[in-house]
Structure 1
Amino acid sequence: MPRRHPPPRGARLSGVWLFTDERAATPLARLAVLLPPGSGIVVRHDGLAPGARWRLFRRLARIARARHLSLLLAGPPALARRWGADGVHLRRQGGGAAAQARRLDLVRTMAVHDRAEARGARRAGAQAVFVSPLHPTRSHPGAPTLSAAEWLRLARLAGGQAVALGGMTPARARALRRRAAGSGIALPGWAAIDAWDDRGKMKAAKRQQRQKRNAVPT
Structure 2
Amino acid sequence: MKRRQTVPRQWLVADSRLGERLWRAIRKLPRGSGILFLYRDLPNGQRARLIAQLRRLARARGLVLADEAAGAARRVHNSKEMLRAGMAGAAVVFLSPMFETRSHPEWKPIPRMRAAALVRLSNSPVIALGGMDERRFREIQKLGFSGWAGIDAYVP
- Assess same fold via TM > 0.5: yes
Greater fraction of residues in helix: 1
* Per-residue deviation, 1:157: 0.8
Q: Structure 1 residues 62, 12: closer, same or farther in 2, change over 3 A?
A: closer
* TM-score for the superposition, normalised by structure 1: 0.65
Instruction: Give structure 2 stretches of 5+ with no counterpart.
Output: none
Instruction: Give structure 1 stretches of 5+ with no counterpart.
Output: 1-5, 78-87, 89-107, 199-218
Give the Cα–Cα distance (whole angstroms) in 1 for the partners of residues 4 and 19 of structure 2: 36
- Which residues in structure 2 correspond to 1:152-191 (within 5 Å)? 152-177=116-141, 179-180=142-143, 185=144, 187-191=145-149
Q: Which runs of 4+ in 1 moved over 4 A?
A: none
Do residues 15 (structure 1) and 32 (structure 2) align?
Answer: no
Map of 1:121 onto structure 2: 85
Do residues 24 (structure 1) and 14 (structure 2) align?
Answer: no
Map of 2:98 onto structure 1: 134
Of the candidates 114, 124, 139, which is equivalent to residue 150 of structure 1? 114
* Per-residue CA distance 1:45-71 (angstroms, 9 max, x = gap): 222222322222222222101111111
* Per-residue deviation, 1:139: 1.3
Partner letter of residue 118 of structure 2?
L
Give the Cα–Cα distance (whole angstroms) in 2 for the partners of residues 67 and 110 of structure 1: 24
Partner letter of residue 116 of structure 1?
K
* Per-residue deviation, 1:26: 5.0
* Per-residue deviation, 1:25: 5.8
**2:154 partner SS:** helix
Give the Cα–Cα distance (whole angstroms) in 2 for the partners of residues 61 and 11 of structure 1: 15
Q: Structure 1 residues 131, 50: closer, same or farther in 2, change over 3 A?
A: same
Q: Structure 1 residues 45, 10: closer, same or farther in 2, change over 3 A?
A: closer
Higher relative contact order at CA 8 Å, sep ≥6: structure 1 or structure 2? 2
Map of 1:93 onto structure 2: none
Give the Cα–Cα distance (whole angstroms) in 2 for the partners of residues 123 and 50 of structure 1: 27
Partner letter of residue 69 of structure 1?
L
Partner letter of residue 146 of structure 1?
I
* TM-score for the superposition, normalised by structure 2: 0.88
Root mean square deviation of aligned Cα = 1.9
Map of 1:52 onto structure 2: 46
Partner letter of residue 164 of structure 1?
A
Give the Cα–Cα distance (whole angstroms) in 2 for the partners of residues 74 and 127 of structure 1: 10
Q: Is the 8 A contact 2:75 2:94 kept in 1?
A: yes
**1:111 partner SS:** strand
Q: Is the 8 A contact 2:77 2:95 kept in 1?
A: yes
* Per-residue CA distance 1:108-141 (angstroms, 9 max, x = gap): 3222211111222223332211111101111111
Give the Cα–Cα distance (whole angstroms) in 2 for the partners of residues 73 and 38 of structure 1: 16
User: More deviation in 161-170 or 126-135?
Assistant: 126-135
Q: Is the 8 A contact 1:29 1:60 kept in 2?
A: no
